[in-house]
Amino acid sequence: MRFGELGSRPRQGGVFLGIILIPLVFFSANPVLAAAKDSHNAGQPDHLILSWTEDPLTTLTVSWRAGADTQQSVLQYLPASEFNGSFAAARETPGKARPLYQGHLRFEVTLRDLSPDTTYVYRVGVEGAWSEPATFTTAASGDSFSFLYMGDVQGGHDVWGRMLARVVAENPDLKFALLGGDLVDQGNSSEEWQQFFAAAWPVFKELPLLPAVGNHDDTAFFRNSFTVPGNGPEGYEGTVYSFQYGNCQIVVLNSNSMGLPGTEGYDKIASWLLQRLGASQQTWKVVVCHHPPYQAVQDWRGEHLQSNWVPLFEQGGVDLVLSGHQHLYMRTKPLRDGRIQADGRGIVYVIGNAGNKHYGVGPDYDYVAVQLTGVSNYQVIEIHGDRLTMIAKDAEGQIIDRFTLVKKPYHADSDNSTEIDDHGCSFRKWGLFLINIPIHVATACANLAIQARH
Angle at 254 (CA atoms; ends 149, 362), nearest 5 degrees: 65
Q: If pLDDT is split at 50, 70 and 90, which confidence band does 31 have?
A: very low
Residue 167 backbone dihedrals phi, psi, to 5 degrees: -60, -45
Start-to-end Cα distance in the chain = 46
CATH superfamily of 144-453: Metallo-dependent phosphatases (3.60.21.10)
pLDDT over threshold 90, residue 435 = no
Q: Provide the pLDDT for residue 259.
A: 75
CATH of 31-137, one of 2.60.40.380, 2.160.10.10, 1.10.150.20, 3.30.110.40: 2.60.40.380
- Give the tens place of pLDDT for each residue, 73-131: 999 999 999 999 999 999 999 999 999 888 899 999 999 999 999 999 999 999 999 99
pLDDT over threshold 70, residue 176 = yes
- Give the tens place of pLDDT for each residue, 327-353: 999 999 999 999 999 888 899 999 999
Residue 326 backbone dihedrals phi, psi, to 5 degrees: -100, 5
Closest among 177, 208, 76, 59 to 132, alpha carbons compared: 76
pTM of the predicted protein model? 0.84
Q: If pLDDT is split at 50, 70 and 90, which confidence band does 447 have?
A: very low
Q: Provide the pLDDT for residue 2.
A: 45
Burial of 62 (0-12, 13-18, 19+ CB in 10 A): buried
Same fold yes or no, 31-137 and 144-453: no
Q: If pLDDT is split at 50, 70 and 90, which confidence band does 449 have?
A: very low
The most distant pair of C-alpha atoms in the chain lies apart, rounded to whole Å, by 71
Q: Provide the pLDDT for residue 14.
A: 32
Q: Where are the domains of the chain?
A: 31-137, 144-453
